[in-house]
Amino acid sequence: MEFLLDTVDLKKIKYYCDKLNVKGVTSNPTILKKAGVGDDLFVHLKKIKEIIGDERELHVQVVAPSVSGMIDEAHKIVDEVGKDVYIKVPTTLDGLEVMKKLKAEGIRVTATAIYTEFQGYQAINVGADYLAPYYNRMLNQNIDSAEVIRNLAKRINLDNSNTKILAASFHNVAQVNEALSNGAQAVTVGPDIVASAFKIPSISQAVADFRNDWESLYGDKNINNL
């Protein structure tokens, strides 16, 4: 299983990289806008790289409307951020052409904006490293996200493909769990959802109960004092 953070907030990236086994960081124009990242895009992306190091992944999206434009943007991102960056490309007809060409150059690719099985199959077929199905957005359009992920996972196994499913666009922790249990090898999750997963009152109560029982036995001593 791979766990990625869907944010460009430097403090939150550092915090959760310290706490969890984080595989990498994903970004898109909406996330950049929310974080107020403007003309200093590459400065900001390099700061993320400094935090996550070379052992973790960084996924950055192209936005140009044409094939040539997306390829030029991909080259710019690779030149600025490094050859180990994953280029996120929308899974349209033009996007699939871009993926083919980038993969032929040895550039890493994440096929994003996936809503249907057919999109996913075509992204697998052009050799995308990751597929990013939009879990909650699919549900909002009455698309069975779990079934799509199951079928894509079956196709990957049948083809003995190296492509991985990187499920994205979650509304809550339950959706993250569903994506993983239905075959997604990876998920990218916003910090707000991660935080909510550990705010269940029962967790805090269990920790408090253990502490109270310890103090009833040993007072203010800790294990090192025994």
Active centre residues (catalytic): 88
Alpha carbon distance 148, 169 (integer Å): 14
Tell me how far apart the alpha carbons of residues 213 and 219 are, in angstroms, rounded to a whole number: 9
Give one DSSP letter per residue of 154-223, joined into a string: HHHHHHT---EEEEB--SSHHHHHHHHHTT-SEEEE-HHHHHHHT--HHHHHHHHHHHHHHHHHHTT--G
Strands 186-189 and 130-133: unpaired
State which amino acid sits at residue 77: I
Give me the residue label for tokens 């090898």: 185
Indicate the Cα dihedral angle 90, 91, 92, 96, nearest 10°. 110
- Chain centroid to CA 52: how far? 14
